[in-house]
Chain A
Amino acid sequence: MDNPLHPFELHPFGQLSLFGLDISLNQAVIMMWVVVAVVAGLLIVAGTSKRLVPTKFQSLAELLVDFIRGMILETMGKDGMRFFPFLATLFLFILFCNLLGLIPGLYTVTSQIVVTAAFALFVYGMSVVVGLARHGVKFLGILIPPGTPLWLLPLMMPIELISQLARPLSLAVRLFANMTAGHTVLAVLFGMALSLPLLIAWLPFAFTIAINGLEVIIAFIQAYIFTILTCVYLGDAMHLHGQDEHAH
């Protein structure tokens, strides 16, 4: 029987290098291109007909825009809307990486921690830059929770520092672990279905189908969580400790 982790292995197609950097293509790279093409294609098709009574694609796109807009307004308020293009791209890319990965034979890009970690570090770095640009040195006050007595500062500052540094890690690990675990479970169950006699093989096979359905939900949830946490972190950087903040 195949190793259940086998689907996660990457095999470069031939060797390509640029100034000594290894830039050979593998399934993950191709898959990202496919995802970008699919997302862009869908939205371009959806955007061409600007009808008052929307077509199927158009209403899907409108639903999507409304969904992301609601997410931003809920967590960042009105001035968060300038991040809309970035957040929509992030959400759609992760969502379609997760969803297309569920089609048997296609690669799940988000099951590589290097991809999710790159996203997470970028998002966290962006929130730090936004915070520093907006508040200057006062941004470091994010390490001091409001209402801390002075004598607790030496304890609270390391704790807050760890909790800040845990943000990119938890973002990266959550997405990566959920996708990897889900696909491993599917691989194990399907391996059982293949190797067992037909009399009982239907049981793991039925589970494979059921869990595939669950994975579709997980794909949405993970993309949603990643994006809403990005909103939350950016919002934290923009409104330090909820000052000048709208009601939650």
Chain B
Amino acid sequence: MPPSTDPFYAGLGQAVRIGTELLAALIVGGGLGWLADTYLFASAPWGLVTGLALGAVSGVLNAYRAAQRWK
């Protein structure tokens, strides 16, 4: 069992985590934007564009926070 204190496993866990952190926020942001475009306002493509931008920002923020937690 990898103990949580072992730097190798802690580092590997971190590496596995941050990639998805970036991606997930981008998908959620883009998805919300697309939903707003399609069902709420007929504003295509601006909802998607704004959503992707916000998602990217939020992904970087998430990755930054994930990196901060285990410094």
A residues sitting closer than 8 Å to B (CB atoms) are: 63-64, 67, 70-71, 74, 158-160, 162-163, 165-167, 169-170, 173-174, 177-178, 217-218, 220-222, 224-225, 228-229, 232, 248
Contact = CB atoms under 8 A, between A and B. Distances in A.
Contacts of B69: 232, 248
A162 B23 contact: no
A160 B58 contact: yes
**Number of chain B interface residues as a range:** 20 to 34
Task: Specify the main secondary structure of chain A where it touches its partner.
Answer: helix
B21 interface: yes
B10 to A, nearest CB: 9
A217 B13 CA distance: 10
A229 B24 CA distance: 15
Given A170-B21, A170-B23, A162 B32 contact: yes
Contacts of B9: 217, 220-221, 224
A94 to B, nearest CB: 14
A126 B23 CA distance: 23
Interface string B16-46: 1100110111011100100000000000000
Nearest to A222: B16
Given A174-B17, A232-B69, A220 B58 contact: no
B67 interface: no
**List of 5 A-B pairs having minimum Cβ-Cβ separation, nearest first:** A170-B24, A166-B25, A166-B24, A162-B58, A174-B20
B6 to A, nearest CB: 11
Contacts of B49: none
Most chain B CB within a 10 A radius of its CB, from A63, A67, A224:
A224
